[in-house]
């Protein structure tokens, strides 16, 4: 649990402890990176706005080091947009301050479950210009490699496995994040927008389509 504010750090860490987690706290990004390199942790709750090394930098550093620990960032922004700091760098989910402690606990449990059994079939899927190599976790568009974060890859893999099938947001949250409970978040839409931005670069045609009022579908033709 990383936050520069002592009150938030104490209260959230105490809440998590009472919910059955073994919690270590850090006040700065540097301290968090040191803690994570010294001992193994299962999940990270990270404040985005911190002096010096901020949350985004911590996520970027961890992912660059190949650390795939599930990360939930705490964002102070209250605007609804798809540019949640930290998610693009590779965080898995976000909560806006102030948040419901029960919500954080439920999401952490789900992310931990997901992380422990990431058992997708190892083969290669092709949809239109898209090639997904699940064994090596690589994605190619027209033969060119596209770098995706872990969560982006998982989302694309789920969509590809169900190519042509419309998946609701709820179903995506369940399949990709393991949220098999009622959850109020637009994290799936945010990640869809990230995926589109990366896959449609250079004016490539859209492969992830929105089915209004229902959800998303991956298919070649419009």
Partner 1 sequence: MRVPRFLRSASLRTRVAIASAAAASAVVAVFTILTSVVLANNDAAQLDRRLDSIIDASMYPDQLQDPRRGVLTTGRSKSNGQVVFQRGLQLPPLPLGTATVEVNGVEYRVRTITVDEQGGLVMSVGIRADSVLLNRARIPLYTAVGLVTVLIAGGLGWLLAGPAIRPLRRLTEHTKRLGKNTERMPEVRGVREAEDLSEAMTEMLSRLAAAQQATTNSLQAAQDFAANAAHELRTPLTAMRADLDTLRIHDLPAEERAEVVQDLSRAQRRVEAIITALGQLASGQLAQAEDRELIDVTDMLDRVARENMRAGGVEIVVEAADDLGAIWGWPGGLRLAVDNLVRNAVTHAHATQIVLTARRQEHTMTIVVDDNGRGLPEEEHQTVLGRFSRGSNAAPGGSGLGLALVAQQAALHGGRIELSNGPLGGLRATLTLSTSPEPPADSD
Cα 88 from Cα 91, distance rounded (Å): 7
Binding mask 74-103 for partner 1 (x = CB under 8 A): x-x-x------------------xxxxxx-
Strand pairing report for 93-96 and 71-75: parallel
* Residue 216, strand partner residues: 167, 210
Q: Is 49 an interacting residue with respect to partner 1 (CB under 8 A)?
A: yes
Instruction: Please provide residue 72's backbone torsions phi and psi, each rounded to the nearest 5 degrees.
Output: -110, 120
Contact 40, 67 (CB under 8 A): no
**Residue 187 in tokens:** 């994290």
Q: How far is the CB of 106 from partner 1 (least distance, A)?
A: 11
Smallest distance from the beta carbon of 5 to partner 1, in angstroms? Answer: 5
The span of 72-80, 108-116, 153-161, 181-189 binding partner 1 (CB under 8 A) equals: 72-80
H-run or E-run covering 99? none
Binding mask 6-25 for partner 1 (x = CB under 8 A): xxx-xxx-xx--xx------
Q: Is 2 in the site for partner 1 (CB under 8 A)?
A: no
With CB under 8 A as the rule, give the number of residues binding partner 1: 21
* DSSP-derived secondary structure letter, 205: P
What is the CB neighbour count within 10 angstroms for residue 222? 7
Tell me the closest approach of the beta carbon of residue 69 to partner 1, in angstroms.
Answer: 22
- Residues interacting with partner 1, by CB under 8 A? 5-8, 10-12, 14-15, 18-19, 49, 74, 76, 78, 97-102
């Amino acid at each position: 649990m990383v936050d520069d504010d002592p009150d938030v750090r104490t209260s959230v860490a105490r809440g998590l402890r009472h919910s059955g987690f073994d919690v270590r706290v850090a006040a700065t990004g540097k301290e968090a990176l040191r803690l994570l390199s010294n001992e193994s942790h299962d999940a990270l709750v990270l404040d985005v706005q911190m002096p010096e090394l901020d949350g985004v930098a911590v996520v970027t550093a961890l992912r660059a080091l190949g650390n795939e620990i599930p990360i939930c960032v705490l964002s102070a922004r209250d605007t609804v947009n798809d540019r949640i700091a930290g998610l693009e760098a590779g965080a898995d989910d976000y909560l806006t301050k102030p948040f419901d402690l029960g919500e954080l606990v439920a999401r952490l449990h789900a992310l931990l479950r997901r992380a422990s059994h990431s058992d997708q079939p190892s083969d290669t899927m092709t949809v239109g210009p898209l090639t997904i190599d699940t064994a090596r976790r690589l994605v190619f568009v027209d033969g060119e490699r596209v770098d995706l974060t872990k969560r982006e890859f998982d989302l694309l893999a789920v969509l590809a496995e169900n190519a042509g099938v419309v998946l609701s947001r709820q179903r995506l949250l369940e399949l990709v994040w393991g949220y098999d409970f009622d959850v109020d978040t637009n994290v799936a839409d945010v990640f869809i927008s990230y995926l589109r931005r990366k896959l449609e670069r250079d004016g490539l045609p859209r492969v992830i389509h929105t089915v209004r009022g229902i959800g998303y579908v991956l298919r070649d033709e419009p």
